Amino acid sequence: MSKPALPFLPFALPDIGEEEIAEVVDTLRNGWITTGPKARRFELDFAEFLGDTSLQCIAVNSATAGLHLALEALGIGPGDEVITTTHTFTSTAEVVRYLGADVRLVDIDPATLNIDPRAVEAAITPRTKAIMPVHYAGLAADMKTIHAIARRHRLQVVEDAAHALPTTSQGRLVGTLPSAATVFSFYANKTITTAEGGMLVTGDADLARRARVMRLHGMNRDAFDRFTATVPSWYYEIVAPGFKYNLTDIAAALGLHQLRRARAFAEQRAAIAARFDQAFADLPLLLPPKAPPGDLHPWHLYVIRLADNAPIGRDAFIEALFQQGIGCSVHYIPLHLHPYWRDRYALSPTQFPHSQRAFERMVSLPLYTRMGETEVERVIQAVRQVLQA
């Protein structure tokens, strides 16, 4: 009798507990399901998590929204340029185009897969107004060097921290560094989730004030403030053509409890990453870079790169794992390969040799907190089987 096939192991699954479920049910029952008291509490809890309650935390419906709001509040617009990495998801760059500004894409450091500060400095022009580093896979970019470049050229820094909760850079949590703004993601596969959602964090009161207004239609008063007042307060004014970027209380209900589990999640992810490192050490692979001693890497992604002497190519490797019931992904197809970015800025792979080479060899393996020892071992054995064939 043939052995029954194992169930498919997806690339990612959210880890939702009973406390999250109960909080969502409470939200549905209490009558306030859009932006309200739980979204406000989530913002306050997030600042406390970062260890600095003076920070302004603004809950939004996606990290994309947060990046857009941050750049808009900084006055980025037509004629300006923003430098970011080609090795990212399109949202990092597209928010610049929302504002009519232009993107300058630069290559990565092949060791860290993060934006290369030397490439950043070489790309600066009189039109450059901001730098947007991405903390790839959860590993902090070289923020000390990037901030020094920004100070030297009087540029703003907006961190795309979609992968980076909780990440540290030189002992400081990402979100507390001297950037104009930092934006986190709570998408379904991130280190904590609200299904969809994000958080804009800033120490700049003026930036925060503008972002809060633009988050909800350019209205000078939040709906929550107007509808919970103890005296008639129906009046509001539209002071700018804003957006619809608010986070609902249903989503925030998830976030309240996910945030409390964030450090435990990071420890579980790190343990799986260490298990993979040990199991794959003798294979023809380049394993993911680790955080410097004393810093924290939350392991949002575990990205391997096939070595030149691997017996199989990247695409065939992914297909072979799929045939064994293991889901994988690729992070990312670099922006210079996508028709919009390629054609608008006349880009070619030769301009980004490190990103291009990494892309051609990289695979993101499943790594999430719902994986038990059986699932981790399945991934290990599948990878070893394919690469030792």
Distances (CA, A) of 253 to 10, 35, 63, 368: 25, 11, 18, 21
Distances (CA, A) of 81 to 34, 58, 92, 151, 156: 35, 25, 13, 17, 11
The Cα 164–Cα 190 span in angstroms is: 9
Instruction: Tell me the residue type at 271.
Output: A
Phi and psi at residue 181, in whole multiples of 5°? Answer: -160, 155
**Helix, strand, coil percentages in the chain from 3-state DSSP, rounded to 5:** 40, 15, 40
- Report the DSSP beta bridge partners of residue 244: 216
**CB neighbours of residue 213 within 10 Å:** 20
- 105, 75 in Cβ contact below 8 A? no
DSSP 248: P
Phi and psi at residue 219, in whole multiples of 5°? Answer: -85, 135
- Report the DSSP beta bridge partners of residue 362: 305
Contacting residues for 63 by C-beta, under 8 A, at least 6 apart: 91, 160, 162, 183, 184, 185, 186, 187, 198
Q: At what angle do helices 249-260 and 262-280 cross, to 10 degrees?
A: 60
Q: Is 290 a catalytic residue?
A: no
Tokens 């709001």 sit at which residue?
69
The Cα 295–Cα 85 span in angstroms is: 23
Query: In the numeric block, which tokens belong to residue 73?
Result: 């509040």
Distances (CA, A) of 20 to 5, 250, 251, 329, 342: 33, 10, 10, 27, 42
Active-site position among 38, 129, 190, 244: 190
Tokens 């699932």 sit at which residue?
375
Active-site amino acid positions? 190
